């Protein structure tokens, strides 16, 4: 899943806007209206005089719209809001035929590029569950890139995941789980209310007022139990207790445990905004 519109904005001209413009009900000043609306999503908005100068000439507006770069846009959420507003513009300018053509083009675009949205009528873009997870991982990687230690731990974890492609032995899977645990522990240590240096202590301290992050003690206990498993199972974090291992670690354990651990990240990091992950 590619995820977001913003990284592939350049593809929208060929796949979306140029086709939209060819509809028989598209007015000559279509891009005058589109550029006026898109300008609201710019990091630096044009002055009223500059904007009027561009949109007053349809071909100038078309050219300006086509030249818009990713760096000019203020973010994914602003871009999504623009795309939703265009449907109303299309209905005002060309009625239902033009608005429906726009709907179909965006739907095809979502499918072709495997984006993280589900399109619903009349025209609203809703995040999908795979998309939310992809967005969370993307946000986590962005956070780790700002800290040399976290960046190294993230790199170690990703390398361990990639290594499973050629060697999915129990040993390699244990390494993968261990490196993800190390990463989560390091993320939790950066929380301003944390003084503990183990994941278990971090989880306990995140339950102390006024910075209570757990909605229920059992949520906290769930990640603590996973931490205890990693410490007690032989060869993950420590020598462990051989008699407590029921069987060898398998690929299903890697998939299930990695997803579970990743899901706790918004609790452990004060830098992750769940609302942005869902709506960005």
* Number of residues in the chain: 280
**Cα 124 off chain centre by:** 18
pLDDT for 233 = 97
Which residue is it, tokens 């609201």? 40
Could you tell me which of 3, 9, 8 has the C-alpha nearest to residue 41? 9
pLDDT for 254 = 96
For residues 157 and 183, give the distance between their C-alpha atoms in angstroms, rounded to a whole number.
Answer: 8
E-assigned strand segments in the chain = 117-120, 124-127
For residues 4 and 75, give the distance between their C-alpha atoms in angstroms, rounded to a whole number.
Answer: 10
Pairing of strands 124-127, 117-120: antiparallel
DSSP per position, 155-172? HHHHHHHHHTTT---HHH
Do the beta carbons of residue 207 and residue 220 sit within 8 Å? yes
For residues 269 and 24, give the distance between their C-alpha atoms in angstroms, rounded to a whole number.
Answer: 51
Beta bridge partners of 3: 115
**Cα 52 off chain centre by:** 35
Please give the biggest Cα pair distance in the chain: 78
Do the beta carbons of residue 106 and residue 34 sit within 8 Å? no
Cis preceding-peptide flag for 210 (omega within 30 of 0): yes
For residues 97 and 92, give the distance between their C-alpha atoms in angstroms, rounded to a whole number.
Answer: 11
Question: Which residues of the chain carry a pLDDT beneath 50?
Answer: 1
For residues 171 and 134, give the distance between their C-alpha atoms in angstroms, rounded to a whole number.
Answer: 27
pLDDT for 1 = 41
Give the global pTM.
0.77
pLDDT for 280 = 62
For residues 88 and 248, give the distance between their C-alpha atoms in angstroms, rounded to a whole number.
Answer: 57
For residues 274 and 280, give the distance between their C-alpha atoms in angstroms, rounded to a whole number.
Answer: 10
Q: Is 196 in a helix, a strand, or coil?
A: coil
Structure tokens at 241: 């207790």
Distances (CA, A) of 182 to 139, 142, 147, 207, 231: 18, 18, 15, 21, 12
Q: How many other C-beta atoms can be found within 10 angstroms of the C-beta atom of residue 148?
A: 9
Domains, the chain, ranges and CATH?
Answer: 6-127 (no CATH), 132-279 (1.20.120)
């Amino acid at each position: 899943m590619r995820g977001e519109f913003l990284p592939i904005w350049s593809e929208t001209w060929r796949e979306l806007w140029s086709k939209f413009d060819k509809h028989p009900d598209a007015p000559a000043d279509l891009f005058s209206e589109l550029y006026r609306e898109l300008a609201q999503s710019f990091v630096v908005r044009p002055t009223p005089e500059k904007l009027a100068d561009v949109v007053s000439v349809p071909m100038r507006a078309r050219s300006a719209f086509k030249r818009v770069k990713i760096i000019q846009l203020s973010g994914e959420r602003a871009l999504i809001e623009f795309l939703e507003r265009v449907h109303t513009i299309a209905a005002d300018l060309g009625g239902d035929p033009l608005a429906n053509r726009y709907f179909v083009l965006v739907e095809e675009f979502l499918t072709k590029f495997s984006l993280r949205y589900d399109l619903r009528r009349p025209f609203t873009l809703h995040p999908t569950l795979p998309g939310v997870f992809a967005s969370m991982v993307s946000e986590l990687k962005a956070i780790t890139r700002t800290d040399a230690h976290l960046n190294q731990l993230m790199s170690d974890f990703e390398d361990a995941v990639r290594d499973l492609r050629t060697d999915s032995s129990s040993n390699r899977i244990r390494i993968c789980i261990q490196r993800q645990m190390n990463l989560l522990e390091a993320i939790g240590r950066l929380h301003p209310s944390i003084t503990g240096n183990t994941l278990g202590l971090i989880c306990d301290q995140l339950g102390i007022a006024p910075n209570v992050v757990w909605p229920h003690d059992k949520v906290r206990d769930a990640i603590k139990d996973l931490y205890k498993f990693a410490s007690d199972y032989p060869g993950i974090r420590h020598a462990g207790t051989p008699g407590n291992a029921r069987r060898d670690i398998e690929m299903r354990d890697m998939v299930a445990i990695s997803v579970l651990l990743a899901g706790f990240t918004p609790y452990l990091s004060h830098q992750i905004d769940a609302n942005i992950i869902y709506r960005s």
